[in-house]
Amino acid sequence: MPSPSGIDMQATSLTKTRYDRIAPVYDLIDFCCEWVAFKRWRKRVWDQAEGIKILEVGVGTGKNMPYYPKKAQIIGIDISDKMLTRARKRAVRLGTEVTLLPMDAQALEFSEASFDCVVATFVFCSVPDPVLGLQEVRRVCRPGGRIILLEHMRPENELFGRLADLFNPIFVRLWGANLNRRTLENVHQAGLEIERVETLVPSGLVKLIVARPIMRSS
Ligand SMILES: C[S@@+](CC[C@H](N)C(=O)[O-])C[C@H]1O[C@@H](n2cnc3c(N)ncnc32)[C@H](O)[C@@H]1O
Report yes or no on 78 lying in a domain. yes
The pLDDT tens digits of the residues spanning 42-66 come to: 999 999 999 999 999 999 999 999 9
Overall domain count for the chain: 1
The answer to the question of residue 93 being in a domain is yes
Residue 176 belongs to some domain of the structure:
yes
Q: How far is the CA of 218 from the centre of ligand 1 (A)?
A: 34
Please report the sign of the dihedral spanned by the C-alpha atoms of residue 42, residue 48, residue 53, residue 57. Answer: negative
The structure's pTM equals 0.95
Residue 2 located in a structural domain: no
Query: Ligand 1 center to residue 26 CA distance, Å?
Result: 11
Going by pLDDT thresholds of 50, 70 and 90, the confidence category of residue 215 is confident
Spatial CA neighbour of 168 closest among 160, 10, 99, 129: 160
End-to-end CA distance of the chain: 35
Cα–Cα distance measured from residue 109 to residue 49, given in angstroms and rounded to the nearest whole number: 22
Question: Which domain covers residue 92, as residue numbers?
Answer: 9-213
**Is 1 inside any structural domain?**
no
| Ligand 1 atom, smallest distance to 83 CA | 27
Domain of residue 79, CATH code: 3.40.50.150
Q: Which residues line ligand 1 (CB under 6 A)?
A: 12, 15, 19, 58-60, 63, 77-80, 83, 104-106, 121-123, 126-127, 177
Query: CA 20, CA 26: separation in Å to the nearest integer?
Result: 10
3 domain residue, yes or no: no
Whose alpha carbon is nearest atom 26 of ligand 1? 60
Per-residue burial over 157-175, b = 16 or more CB atoms within 10 Å of its CB, e = otherwise = eeebbeebeeebeeebeeb
> Are 8 and 1 spatial neighbours (Cβ–Cβ below 8 Å)?
yes
> How many whole angstroms separate alpha carbon 112 and alpha carbon 2?
23
Report yes or no on 193 lying in a domain: yes
Is 175 contained in some domain?
yes
The closest residue, in CA terms, to atom 25 on ligand 1 is: 80
Query: pLDDT, tens digit, for every residue of 130-155?
Result: 999 999 999 999 999 999 999 999 99
* DSSP one-letter code for 34: I
